[in-house]
Structure 1
Amino acid sequence: MFERLLPHMRVKTIYDIDLHALKEQGMKGIITDLDNTLVGAKVPLATPELVKWLDVVRDLGFKVVIVSNNNETRVSKFAVPLNIPFIHAARKPWNRAFKSALAVLDLPAEQTAVIGDQMMTDVLGGKRMGLHTILVHAISPADEGIMTRFNRLLERVALSRLRKKGLWPEEDRK
């Protein structure tokens, strides 16, 4: 059961993702979480480094959509200046938002990666939809809301079980 929380790839930050390798694997689209994936949960706008990364992503031909469980005000203030489509109040890990994101991208699941910082929402939801899942470390865990903190507790339980099964290396702590 806990194997459903195993991402296809684990990296420290989005900047550690080998975008060329992702493209070689046949990926054409990226569904990305916002808070603690692209920027800290309390950071209102994209950093210059993130803007540059998004330019590289687009230059490589990837289509991008932000899928966030956060509210419309938060997500739109971030996404609109970047000209990135978004889905707010996504209720990840449920399928509806991921299906909507695939429709926005006009791509099938097997050509789409999902990037996020939570196993319980981003990885589980992505794997349920057949997406390539990439787990990043949370940028600013101290700024997380109550539901995310609860999810982190569940993640710790899952990680413990995965480590006992030898599926998550001990030195690779989240």
Structure 2
Amino acid sequence: MFSNYKPTWMVDAIYKVTPEQLKKHGIKAVLTDLDNTLIAWNNPDGTEELRAWLEIMKEADIPVVVVSNNNAERVARAVEVFDLAYVARALKPLSRGINKAYRELNVDKNEVVMVGDQIMTDIRAANRAGIKSILVKPVVNTDSWKTKMNRFLEKKIMKKLLKKHPEMKWQGELQ
């Protein structure tokens, strides 16, 4: 049961994932959660590190699409400065938003990856959609009130996952 929450990879931060690493695994597009994955949930302006990473992805012709449970107004405001496509109200852990995003990109399931900081929403949705996933550490150590309950449950699930899958380890890059 808990294997439904198992990520394909665990990388310290989305910014450490390079086009070369993605291409090595046949990945042509990145779907990403917004809050605490791409940007801090309480700082929608992003960082220079984020801007540099997005530019590297753009130069490598790897589209990045935000797949968020937030409403369209919130997501649009956060991503407009980065000129990113998005799917709002994705309904993660359901696969609806992920399916919509990769179909709009016109790529196969095996050519896309979902990056997120929560196993109960992002990783579970990726597994339901049948795509690869990357769990990243949250950008900041605080969460909105909506996420706090998930974090509590995630700790219990991660403990069981790590016991069953000792190969699950945080990496500095996509292996």
TM-score (norm 2): 0.90
Task: Output aligned runs, 1:84-95, within 5 Å.
Answer: 84-95=84-95
Give the conservation status (yes or no) of the 8 Å contact 2:11–2:170.
no
Match of 1:23 in 2: 23
Residue of structure 1 equivalent to 2:96: 96
CA–CA distance in 1 between the matches of 2:117 and 2:106? 24
Secondary structure at the residue paired with 1:141? coil
Hey, what's the Cα distance between the residues in 2 that align with 1:152 and 1:84? 27
Q: Percent of aligned positions with the same letter in both sequences? A: 33
Q: Tell me whether 1:124 sits opposite 2:124 in the alignment.
A: yes
Q: How far off its partner does 1:166 sit?
A: 4.2
Q: Tell whether 2:161 aligns with 1:162.
A: yes
Which residue of structure 1 lines up, in the alignment, with residue 71 of structure 2?
71
Q: Is the 8 A contact 1:117 1:138 kept in 2?
A: yes
For the Cα contact (< 8 Å) 2:32–2:67, is it kept in 1? Answer: yes
1:159–1:168 CA contact under 8 A, matched in 2: no
Runs ≥4 in structure 1, deviation > 4 angstroms? 168-172
Aligned residues: 171
8 Å CA contact retained: 2:3, 2:161: yes
User: Which stretches in structure 2 are left out of the alignment for 5+ residues?
Assistant: none
| TM-score, reference length from structure 1 | 0.90
Find the counterpart in structure 2 of residue 115 from structure 1.
115
d(CA) in 1 for partners of 2:168, 2:89: 33
Q: Which has the higher contact order (CA 8 A, sep 6+)?
A: 2
Q: Please, which runs of 5 or more residues in structure 1 have no aligned partner?
A: none
Distance in 2 between residues matched to 1:171 and 1:117, nearest whole Å = 12
Q: Mark the CA change 1:60 to 1:157 in structure 2 (over 3 Å): closer, same or farther.
A: same
CA RMSD of aligned residues (A): 1.8
Offset of 1:87 from its aligned partner? 1.1
Please tell me whether residue 153 in structure 1 is matched to residue 132 in structure 2: no
Q: In the alignment, what sits opposite 2:6?
A: 6
Query: What is the one-letter code of the residue matched to 2:153?
Result: L
